């Protein structure tokens, strides 16, 4: 029973994890694919929009919320330094 409870707690934390928000508007992404390249779980894919520009999309099933994608983003680094 104790083991089942630990698994439930672990499962609940996985469900409640906060996914990284890579961009809120298209101007917040330069399409460099740094986030895609650094993701240790392959949870980010680049998806083209109607104009053919690729934007990152996070797969919530694969993402472990390590936030490496957020740390490597050049736009987020520049905005953080301002």
Tens-place pLDDT, residues 14-63: 455 799 999 999 999 999 999 999 999 999 999 999 999 999 999 999 99
- 57 versus 1: the higher-pLDDT residue is 57
**Model's pTM, two decimal places?**
0.75
Q: pLDDT-based confidence at 12, cuts 50/70/90? A: low
Pairing of strands 54-58, 44-48: antiparallel
d(C-alpha 14, C-alpha 38), whole Å: 21
**Would you report the helix, strand and coil content of the chain in percent, each value rounded to 5?**
45, 10, 45
């Amino acid at each position: 029973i104790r083991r089942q409870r630990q698994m439930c707690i672990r499962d609940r934390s996985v469900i409640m994890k906060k996914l990284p928000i890579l961009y809120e508007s298209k101007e917040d992404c330069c399409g460099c694919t740094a986030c895609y390249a650094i993701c240790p779980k392959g949870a980010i894919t680049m998806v083209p929009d109607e104009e053919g520009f690729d934007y990152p999309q996070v797969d919530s099933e694969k993402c472990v919320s390590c936030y490496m994608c957020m740390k490597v983003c050049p736009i987020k680094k520049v905005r953080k330094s301002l």
